[in-house]
Amino acid sequence: MLRTVSEGIFEGLCRSVGIACDRVDEAGTQTPHFEIKSSGHRIFAEVKQFDPNEEEAESKQRLDAGGFGGSGITPGNLIRKAMYRAAPQLRALPTGAFPAMLVVYNTNRSRLHTDPYAVVTAMQGIDVVPVLVPKDPSLSPQFSGHALRPGQHDDAEYELDKRRHRGAPN
């Protein structure tokens, strides 16, 4: 089976720190790529590689030629897709029998796909900052005070803001 750059780097990293890392025979089944053995424990790892998409590759060419480059992304989108693709392989393990992990390797120049915000957003959804805009233009918009995930709100603050905008006492 052909190995990706990321799989080779993962194996090399494990070897360099003295961790036994064996490729799992995938023979037509959904299984994680690697079994790691350390301190008497078995851990399974699925490795995914992020290669530049067409827009990112074109941007890199422009930058390399001394021009301007850039591309737009949705934070966490690529990691979320990797989690969905890895899920069947990791779920193939007996439930609760072994820990498993997803390892991502980004070949892009930009870290936007793998920075901490992208990881949190992939797992929990994109941040939403609730802004309450009153009908009365003389009143200022109110912010909830902190970012929330879609569908969430701080009940106490939410109720207080609703009362403020209706003119009710606090």
30-49 residue pLDDT tens: 788 899 998 888 999 999 99
Does 24 share its domain with 100?
A: yes
What contacts 147, CB < 8 A, 6 or more positions away?
Answer: 127, 128, 129
Task: Give the pLDDT confidence score for residue 7 in this predicted structure.
Answer: 92
Using CA atoms, how far apart are residues 120 and 126, in angstroms rounded to an integer? 8
Element (H, E) at 131: strand 131-132
The residue ranges of the chain whose pLDDT is under 70 are 1-2, 28, 95, 145-170
DSSP-based three-state secondary structure for 6: helix
Does 15 share its domain with 53?
A: yes
Does 118 share its domain with 145?
A: no
Does 83 share its domain with 160?
A: no
Does 10 share its domain with 26?
A: yes
Q: Which of 58, 52, 53, 47 is nearest to 23 (CA)?
A: 47
Task: Give the pLDDT confidence score for residue 164 in this predicted structure.
Answer: 52
Does 14 share its domain with 58?
A: yes
Does 109 share its domain with 49?
A: yes
Q: What is the pTM of this model?
A: 0.68
Task: Give the pLDDT confidence score for residue 71 in this predicted structure.
Answer: 73
DSSP-based three-state secondary structure for 100: strand
Does 65 share its domain with 89?
A: yes
What contacts 36, CB < 8 A, 6 or more positions away?
Answer: 14, 19, 20, 21, 22, 42, 43, 44, 45
Does 116 share its domain with 73?
A: yes
Angle 26-31-32 (CA atoms, 0-180°, nearest 5)? 105
Does 137 share its domain with 70?
A: no
Does 142 share its domain with 119?
A: no
Does 77 share its domain with 142?
A: no
Orientation angle between helical segments 116-124 and 77-91, nearest 10 degrees:
60
Task: Give the pLDDT confidence score for residue 150 in this predicted structure.
Answer: 55
Q: Which domain holds residue 101?
A: 5-124
Count of domains forming the chain: 2
